[in-house]
């Protein structure tokens, strides 16, 4: 079974209310945390002679952020149900539009429904309306891809009154792109492996202006990508390198997005225990994020030059696996001493970054589920950021703040350089002991950018969630798709 690169949630999105108001199964309305009902709820309040006012006064409905109350409408006319979604205080950010809408839609997916109208546009600035649509889209995608009976019962239509067609189209694209990344991560490793990943990307961009180039194991050998080949040597499924070129910015130097794509990580000869291996299909989330961003750029038609790179390998165990003590000469000529085969992502990225560097980009951003150490430092919900160029990172941080995606900078002091130096090669693929593991991993990668402006984003924590939240399922999250899209669009 191959992943479907052209999937979409089977929901018709529209900006128009149903001509027959009785056809709407549910209308979602926003309720701010204030003393009285907003004017947007007056028409519904009047249906039942002030029923919503009475419910609010008695504390049965509230505007606290996260409150969701589903009510039967006391009338034979109009919608059958009303879902009151608490908006919290009066300051509503873009991330609120995304998450509140997503949580409201998710709460309705327990049973089949017809038309659902999302009437929250007037509660948010027009420039946030695409986030309302994107949130609704992501709510309709989950990790239960192979259940005989779908766990999510999708409505036949979602309407967004008050949202312009441009914002509807943009929100749809952003939602699709996030879901594209999530779907690739959630696919089982027997379905998504280096070759099938490359095939899915090729098919995804077929007919678009995005140029896709795939290097198979023969081309990787010709190019001297011995690091990628070493990591994939233990698998029956050979590695790949995928490049996606979005040419929207004329003669300007491109932005390079580089994603770690270890489609399954057993740890190699440094074998992981079973508990640590169960979700290692997610170790290609960096590459999937790059695909999601490139999909959004193509669909929106962003006027920038961007090249996406995905280094793809399976880290498996066999008689041909790379070994502890091996020394690998990378594409750049630098040599790596292998002291732990479970520190494989940085080895794959060594060659992938070198390929990206050859296109003389204005900046390089890599994304990788790279270290458990980053999760120890920052928890499961925060992206760790490391850089050699504070100005580039500042722009990404600004975009992340607007989109509500959490990230935090870790230091890159020269002191850490010594910890990745090898006695027998140029560098080694692990630091000295347990301490500062996320930073020493970034220091390893820094050896392969040769001073070009570069940001490393360790997404090990937020890329894959063990537990669901109100606004999204457990499993893949699509973190950083929104942030990087905004950052690329806002480049001067």
Asked if pLDDT for residue 1 goes beyond 80, the answer is no
Cα–Cα distance for residue pair 290/174, rounded to 1 Å: 13
Question: What is the pLDDT at residue 2?
Answer: 47
Asked if pLDDT for residue 359 goes beyond 70, the answer is yes
Question: What is the pLDDT at residue 416?
Answer: 96
* The residue to which tokens 């893949």 are assigned: 476
The 3-state DSSP class for residue 387 equals strand
Stretch among 65-69, 131-135, 307-311 having the lowest mean pLDDT: 65-69
Question: What's the distance, CA 322 to chain centroid?
Answer: 30
Q: What is the average pLDDT across 232-248?
A: 98
- Class of residue 299 by CB neighbours under 10 A (exposed 0-12, middle 13-18, buried 19+): middle
Residue 100's pLDDT band, with cuts at 50, 70 and 90, is: very high
Of 79, 95, 90, the C-alpha closest to 159 is 79
Tell me: domain 12-177, CATH 3.40.220.10, correct?
A: yes
**Do 135 and 97 touch, CB atoms closer than 8 A?**
yes
**Do 97 and 160 touch, CB atoms closer than 8 A?**
no
Contacts of 47 (CB under 8 A, 6+ apart): 73, 74, 75, 77, 78
| Per-residue pLDDT tens over the stretch 423-474 | 999 999 999 888 999 999 999 999 999 999 999 999 999 999 999 999 999 9
- The pTM (predicted TM-score) of the whole model is 0.96
140: left (phi > 0), else alpha (psi -120 to 50), else beta? alpha
Our answer to whether residue 153 is catalytic in this structure is no
Mean pLDDT of the chain, nearest integer: 94
Angle at 356 between CA 354 and CA 361, to 5 degrees: 125
Asked if pLDDT for residue 3 goes beyond 50, the answer is no
Q: What is the average pLDDT across 261-276?
A: 97
Our answer to whether residue 472 is catalytic in this structure is no
| Per-residue pLDDT tens over the stretch 212-226 | 999 999 999 999 999
**Do 138 and 181 touch, CB atoms closer than 8 A?**
no
Asked if pLDDT for residue 17 goes beyond 80, the answer is no
Question: What is the pLDDT at residue 433?
Answer: 82
| Per-residue pLDDT tens over the stretch 151-183 | 899 999 999 999 999 999 999 999 999 999 999
First to last CA, the chain: 43
Strand ordering across the sheet containing 68-72: 12-14, 157-159, 115-119, 24-32, 81-88, 68-72
Cα–Cα distance for residue pair 468/479, rounded to 1 Å: 14
Question: What is the pLDDT at residue 6?
Answer: 47
The CATH number of the domain covering residues in 187-461: 3.40.630.10
Residue 5's pLDDT band, with cuts at 50, 70 and 90, is: very low
Segments making up each domain of the chain, as ranges: 12-177, 187-461
Domain 12-177 and domain 187-461 have a common topology: no
Q: What is the average pLDDT across 285-299?
A: 98
Asked if pLDDT for residue 92 goes beyond 90, the answer is no
Cα–Cα distance for residue pair 261/403, rounded to 1 Å: 25
**Do 154 and 114 touch, CB atoms closer than 8 A?**
no
Stretch among 68-77, 102-111, 286-295, 374-383 having the lowest mean pLDDT: 68-77
215 vs 8 pLDDT, higher one = 215
**Do 107 and 86 touch, CB atoms closer than 8 A?**
no
Residue 9's pLDDT band, with cuts at 50, 70 and 90, is: low
Cα–Cα distance for residue pair 69/85, rounded to 1 Å: 7
Residue 119: its H or E element: strand 115-119
| pLDDT-above-70 percentage for the chain | 96
**Identified catalytic residue from 237, 240, 346, 482:** 346
**Identified catalytic residue from 272, 303, 329, 334:** 272
Of 197, 238, 245, the C-alpha closest to 221 is 238
Question: What is the pLDDT at residue 492?
Answer: 55
Residue 47: its H or E element: helix 42-47
Question: What is the pLDDT at residue 335?
Answer: 98
**Do 125 and 91 touch, CB atoms closer than 8 A?**
no
């Amino acid at each position: 079974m191959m992943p479907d690169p052209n999937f979409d949630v089977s929901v018709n999105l529209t900006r128009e209310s149903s001509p027959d108001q009785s056809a709407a199964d549910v209308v979602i309305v926003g309720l701010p945390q204030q003393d009285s009902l907003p004017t947007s709820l007056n028409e519904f309040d009047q249906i039942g002679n002030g029923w919503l006012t009475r419910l609010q006064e008695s504390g049965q409905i509230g505007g606290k952020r996260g409150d969701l109350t589903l009510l039967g409408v006391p009338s034979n006319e109009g919608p059958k149900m009303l879902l009151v979604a608490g908006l919290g205080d009066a300051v509503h950010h873009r991330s609120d539009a995304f998450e509140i809408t997503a949580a409201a839609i998710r709460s309705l997916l327990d049973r089949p429904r017809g038309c659902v109208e999302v009437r929250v546009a007037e509660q948010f600035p027009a420039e946030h309306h695409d986030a309302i649509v994107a949130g609704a889209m992501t709510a309709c995608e989950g990790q239960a891809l192979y259940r005989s009976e779908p766990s999510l019962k999708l409505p036949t239509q979602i309407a967004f009154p008050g949202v312009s067609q441009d914002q509807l189209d943009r929100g749809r694209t952003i939602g699709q792109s996030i879901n594209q990344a999530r779907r690739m991560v959630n696919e089982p490793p027997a379905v998504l492996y280096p070759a099938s990943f490359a095939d899915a990307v090729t098919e995804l961009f077929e007919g678009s202006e995005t140029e896709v180039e795939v290097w198979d194991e023969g081309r990787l050998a010709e190019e001297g990508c011995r690091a990628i080949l070493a990591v994939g040597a233990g698998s029956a499924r050979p590695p790949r390198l995928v490049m996606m070129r979005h040419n929207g910015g004329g003669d300007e130097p491109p932005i390079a997005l580089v994603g770690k794509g270890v489609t399954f990580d057993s740890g190699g000869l440094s074998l992981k225990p079973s508990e640590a291996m169960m979700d290692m299909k997610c170790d290609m989330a960096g590459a999937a994020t790059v695909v999601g961003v490139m999909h959004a750029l193509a669909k929106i038609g962003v006027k920038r030059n961007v090249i996406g790179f995905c280094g793809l390998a399976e880290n498996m165990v066999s008689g041909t696996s790379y070994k502890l003590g091996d020394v690998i000469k990378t594409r750049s000529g630098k040599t790596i001493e292998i002291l732990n085969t479970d520190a494989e992502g940085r080895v794959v990225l060594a060659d992938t970054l070198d390929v990206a560097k050859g296109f003389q980009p204005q900046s390089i951003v890599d994304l990788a589920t790279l270290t458990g150490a980053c999760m120890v430092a920052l928890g499961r919900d925060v992206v760790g950021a490391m850089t050699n160029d504070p100005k580039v990172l500042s722009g990404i941080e600004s975009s992340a703040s607007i989109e509500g995606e959490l990230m935090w900078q870790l230091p890159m002091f020269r002191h850490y350089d010594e910890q990745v130096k090898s006695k027998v090669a140029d560098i080694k693929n692990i630091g000295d002991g347990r301490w500062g593991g996320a930073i020493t991993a970034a220091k390893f990668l820094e050896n392969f950018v040769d001073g070009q402006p570069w940001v490393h984003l360790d997404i090990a924590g937020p890329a894959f969630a063990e537990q669901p939240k109100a606004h999204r399922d457990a499993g893949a999250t699509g973190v950083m798709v929104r942030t990087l899209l905004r950052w690329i669009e806002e480049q001067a």
